[in-house]
Each structure stands twice: as C-alpha cells, then as structure tokens.
C-alpha cells in the first residue's frame, strides 16, 4: 500500500489544486490535507479539493501551526489506515515539492520502512536569501546539537515511518520547530535517516512561505537556548560555591568537587525536566550524568591548574576560561549520552538501520574480539559444566555459529560430542570448516533459524551468543523458539545477548561517534523480556549480566521442558 501524502495548508494558493490532482493520478495514492485555520478567501480551493475521491480533509478552527497540523494528520492516519501501510509522506502546500519528487520520497520509505526519508534540496546563488539563511544556520545548529550532518534540515518533504509516528505525537512543539524536533528525535533514538535528492523549486522569492526567518528560527533553536540559560545559571551557582570553598580551603581540587556536586544536582534536574524533556528512567540517566560530570571535573581541574601554572592566570580567571571551553562539550555529551532516547527493543528498531556486514566481520574481526570471546567462552563452559544434563553431553548445537569462537574450547572439553552449527553466512561457515580437525563430528548447515529447524537436529546443549538481538521483536521471539525446537527434552538452552546497561550505552555511543560500530542492526534487549519468552518453552535455571565485557551481555540458562515438535507448536510472542 502506497504511503498517503500529508499536506498541511494555511492560506493555500492556486498551486495546491493541480498538485493534489497530479498526485491522485496514481490510483493507489490517498491525500490527507489539513486546513490549518485558513481564512474565507482561501476556502474555495480547499472546498474543491475536499470533494475529490481519496482526499481526506481535516480542519482546524484556528491556525495552530505547522507542527500541530502534521500531528493532527499523523493521528488521523494511525486511527484510520491499516497497519500494512508503512507510513506517510509529508509535503508543503506552496508548490515547491514536485509530484515526481513526492513519489520518489515515498519509494524511499517503502524501500526502508523503518527509516526517516528526507527529500533534500541543493542550495546555490539562485536560492532566495531568506531560505539560504534559514537552512545554513539551522544546518550548523543541528550539527552542533546532534553531531549529525543533515543536508537540508528544513525540508518539508519527508517519508515518516508508521512506527515513528506515536513518538512524534508526544513532541510538545506545534510550529516550524516541530520539524527540527523530529530530526533530533530520530538522531537520539538512532533511527536511520536517508536522503533523496529533489529539485529545488522556489515560487517568486519564496514570499508565500509562512516561515519567519527571525521568530521561527528562535523557536527552532529554543532547545539550545534552554540549555544555554540552564547552563548560565548552573555556571553561576558552580562559580559561587567554588569561590566560597576555595576561600575557606585554598585547595583547587576540593573546591571543584564541592562546587560540581552542588551545581551538578541542579543541572541534572533542569536538564532532564526542562532542557531535553526526557521521559526515560531517572536512575540510568543519573548514572551516566555522574560519570560525565566526573570526567569533566577532572578535565576542568587539569585545565584550571595548567592555566594557573603555565599562563600565570589567577585561579578565578582560569576557572571561568576552562568552564567556558567545556560548555559546548557538556551540551553535546548530555544530548548524545545522558538524555538520549533509547530504543531498548522498540518495534522496528532493527529495520530502521542497515544490516550488519557479516562477511566483513568474519573476514576482519575486531582486535578486541579475541579477548571478549575468551571471557564469554570461559563463562559458557562453566555454565555448561554446572547445569549439564545428568545423562551427559553427546551433542552441541550453536545457532548463528559461523566461524564460531566457542567451537575449539567446547570440542576440547567434550571431545566425543557431535557439534552442529546453523547459520546463513557461507563465508563464516567455510572459515569454521577450515578449523575442524575432525569433520565427521561436525555438521555445518547453511540454515535460517527463523525457518523450520533441519530434520534430525536434537542436541543436549543448544546455545547462541550475539544472535537474537539482530532481529525485530517478533523475529527475536522466533529465534528464541528455534533454540528449544533444536533441544532434546531435558537439554540445556543458553542464550547470550547485549543488554542496555549504562556501560553498554556509553561504549556503543563512543564507538558510533568514532565510526567504529559494525553491528548497525543490533538491538540491545532487556533480560526480563528474553527470560519471559524463554520461560514459554522451559524452566529458567540461571540469569546474569556479564559485566567483564564493556558491551555488557545478558545470559540466561534454561532447561528444555518440551520436545522439538511441542516447542514448535507454541506461538511465539515478542522480545
């Protein structure tokens, strides 16, 4: 089903009617128009459009702003359109978005249904000054706020995924700033953003645009202004407490610690409630904030002492200079690391990004992989020895085990056991085949674990590490079920997966910011959700979080209570 086109319209001109009619030439296209309180002289074109088939006309009694018009249409779409429709395309009413470009952005959304698709324009000397100014400044501010480079932050032509719309409805903004908040939310929730080049069309000198370069820009930048105001108050409080403590103790480090504790409590509270307006749990955010404050405190101490010693500045002047330099670093870190929105298993999270390139991963694994593999391997061996079936172990089955990092240690510990690997990656399976000293005791099967398990696979120990988090919630549940369909009754099932602790989040954020992150579709999972799904098929024996790996892993061990056919007959849930 084609995504419907949403057009917020305030005082529309004659160019709106031919645009809508052109869009409706596609028999599968529907158009949602929001009359945002237009006055009577402009009602004729809207009245004519409302009579057309496949046009949904929504009306505001008064002008409520573009953001509110979009949210009204989003809500209407979610209530009235079927779930198989992947999302919506938003376009402007002033004729600056051509029908073929709207269709192109719609195709981009269909191709990547979890991504936010942007139709981006090119800007040159022919661009009206008000548009060139607005886009240039907003692009720079957005890059500072988010750390992401977006070619056209003010484009109104966007393909918005269905699963993203409920989150957008919660954004308080109602004017033009809503579109910037949409981009910020997409970045903070690590949603993939794609760009499609479109023609740059301006009618006249863009005089029909209702965007006010001064007032609306101030609204757009208000997130940063809120932070600036809060930071100035925090800085004043920090400086006052530092001055008092230094006057009494004459010790720089002790004074910085006392000042940072007092000002930090104030800054965290204001940042969470007023600046970033986070709805996430307080405890994890506070943990990340304390870590950030501690790091910045030592940096500040180093800067202040260096300025005092090497430049001859007084302590108070050095303090002002150092804290001024750390202001921007603090804002970026709070937005990206402390108060960033987290996926934690939101539907479609894995679909919203490109998949992991497993060929590249197996061909050139991370230099840290050998260390983490040894740690996880030892833990797996201890769990298998502790909970192994009373009758012993005659067979292992590793799901997603191409080029397995556990094969050598497990076959050394249980040399008589048969080892089965199920995976879809041919390269990884071939690499593992080259490491097998006894091919007769190994079966390397190119098999999709989301499909039916191969006949004859029934092992005493079935396990996976770093597998189930690469699927959508429904497919993750299917992957968990596959472990039990491959296990004998009474057999052991062990599943390891990344879990979103503060340490995992901080490490992943750093890796992503440095461009070192490879597992783009990895979706960290809550242990409770995985345990709940595993309990449908067996008895939970043990659970833990492996903190020795900085990308922390949850590990759950269960005893299979059912035969493979019985497990297969159970309808999986979501995880």
Q: Give pLDDT tens digits along the chain (575 positions).
A: 799 999 999 988 888 999 999 999 998 899 999 999 998 877 788 999 999 999 999 999 999 999 999 999 999 999 999 888 999 999 999 888 999 999 999 999 999 988 999 999 876 555 555 555 556 666 676 666 566 778 888 889 999 999 999 999 998 888 877 888 898 888 877 788 999 998 877 554 444 454 444 444 555 555 555 555 666 777 788 888 889 988 888 888 888 889 878 877 877 777 666 655 566 667 777 777 788 778 888 888 888 888 888 888 888 888 778 877 676 566 556 655 666 554 433 333 344 445 666 766 666 666 566 678 888 888 999 999 999 998 899 999 999 988 888 888 888 889 889 999 999 988 888 888 888 877 678 999 988 888 766 777 899 999 999 899 999 899 999 999 999 999 999 999 999 999 999 888 888 877 775 566 778 788 999 999 999 999 999 999 999 999 998 899 999 999 999 888 888 888 888 77
Instruction: Extract the tokens encoding 146.
Output: 């988010």
CA–CA separation, 312 vs 48, rounded Å?
Answer: 75
Q: Based on the structure, what is the number of domains in the chain?
A: 3
Tell me, yes or no, whether 454 and 487 share the same domain: yes
236 and 112 inside one domain: no
Q: Is residue 344 part of a domain?
A: no
Q: Are residues 250 and 236 in the same domain?
A: yes
Whether 352 is in a domain gets the answer: no
Six token digits for residue 321:
């200079």
Residue pair 213/137 in contact (Cβ under 8 Å)? The answer is no
Domain match, 530 and 399 both: yes
347: in domain: no
Q: What residues make up the domain containing 200? A: 5-220
Q: Are residues 24 and 84 in the same domain?
A: yes
> Other C-beta atoms within 10 Å of 22: how many?
15
> Is residue 475 domain-shared with residue 423, that is, in the same domain?
yes
- Strand 158-161 versus strand 87-90 pairing type: antiparallel
In a domain, 350, yes or no: no
Shared domain check, 213 and 237 = no
Domain contains 574: no
The two structure tokens encoding residue 153: 């932050």
Q: For residue 2, what is the DSSP state? A: P
**Helix 177-188 with 66-80: angle, nearest 10 deg:** 60
Question: Which of 338, 372, 396 lies at the terminal end of a domain, its last residue?
Answer: 338
Nearest to 127 by CA among 96, 89, 100: 96
Dihedral sign from CA coordinates of 188, 118, 107, 196: negative
Give the start-end residues of each E strand in 350-486.
395-399, 418-423, 442-446, 459-465
Does 547 fall in a domain?
yes
């Amino acid at each position: 089903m084609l995504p419907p086109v949403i057009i917020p319209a305030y005082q529309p001109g004659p160019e709106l009617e031919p645009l809508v009619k052109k869009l409706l030439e596609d028999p599968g296209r529907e158009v949602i128009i929001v009359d945002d309180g237009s006055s009577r002289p402009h009602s004729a074109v809207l009245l004519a459009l409302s009579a057309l088939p496949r046009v949904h006309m929504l009306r505001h009694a008064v002008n409520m702003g573009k953001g509110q018009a979009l949210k009204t249409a989003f809500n209407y779409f979610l209530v009235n359109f079927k779930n198989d429709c992947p999302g919506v395309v938003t376009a402007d009413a002033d004729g600056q978005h051509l029908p073929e470009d709207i269709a192109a952005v719609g195709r981009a959304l269909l191709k990547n249904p979890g991504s936010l698709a942007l139709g981006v324009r090119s800007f040159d000397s022919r661009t009206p000054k008000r548009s060139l100014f607005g886009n240039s400044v907003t692009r720079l501010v957005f890059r500072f706020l988010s750390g992401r480079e977006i070619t056209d932050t003010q484009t109104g032509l966007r393909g918005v995924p269905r699963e993203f719309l409920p989150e957008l409805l919660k954004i308080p903004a109602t004017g033009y700033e809503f579109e910037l908040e949409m981009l910020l939310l997409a970045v903070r929730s690590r949603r993939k953003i794609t760009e499609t080049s479109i023609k740059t069309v301006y009618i006249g000198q863009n005089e029909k645009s209702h965007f006010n370069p001064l007032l609306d820009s101030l609204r757009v930048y208000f997130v940063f202004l809120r932070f600036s105001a809060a930071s100035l108050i925090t800085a004043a409080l920090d400086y006052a407490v530092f001055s008092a403590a230094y006057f009494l103790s004459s010790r720089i480090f002790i004074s910085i610690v006392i000042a940072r504790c007092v000002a930090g409590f104030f800054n965290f509270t204001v940042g969470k409630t007023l600046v970033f307006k986070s709805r996430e749990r307080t405890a994890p955010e506070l943990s990340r904030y304390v870590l950030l404050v501690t790091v910045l405190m030592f940096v500040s101490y180093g800067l202040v002492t260096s300025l005092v010693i090497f430049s001859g500045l007084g302590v108070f002047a050095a303090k002002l200079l150092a804290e001024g330099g750390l202001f921007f670093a603090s804002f970026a870190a709070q937005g990206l690391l402390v108060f960033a929105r987290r996926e934690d298993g939101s539907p479609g999270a894995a679909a919203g990004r490109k998949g992991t390139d497993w060929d590249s991963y197996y061909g050139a694994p991370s230099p840290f992989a050998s260390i983490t593999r040894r740690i996880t391997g030892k833990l797996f061996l201890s769990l298998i020895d502790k909970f192994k079936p009373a009758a012993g172990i005659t067979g292992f089955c590793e799901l997603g085990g191409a080029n397995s990092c556990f094969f050598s240690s497990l076959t050394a510990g249980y040399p008589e056991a048969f080892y089965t690997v199920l995976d879809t990656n041919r390269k990884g399976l071939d690499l593992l085949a080259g490491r097998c000293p006894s091919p007769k005791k190994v079966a390397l099967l190119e098999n999709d674990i989301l499909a039916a398990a191969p006949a004859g696979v029934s092992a005493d120990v079935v396990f996976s590490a770093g597998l189930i988090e690469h699927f959508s919630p429904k497919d993750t549940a299917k992957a968990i079920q596959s472990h039990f369909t491959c296990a004998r009754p009474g057999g052991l099932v062990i599943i390891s997966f990344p879990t979103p602790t503060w340490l995992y989040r901080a490490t992943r954020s750093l890796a992503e910011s440095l461009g070192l992150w490879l597992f783009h579709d990895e979706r960290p999972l809550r242990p409770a959700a995985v345990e709940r799904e595993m309990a449908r098929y067996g008895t939970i024996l043990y659970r833990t979080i492996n903190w020795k790996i900085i990308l922390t892993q949850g590990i759950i061990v269960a005893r299979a209570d059912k035969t493979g056919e019985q497990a297969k007959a159970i309808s999986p849930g979501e995880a």
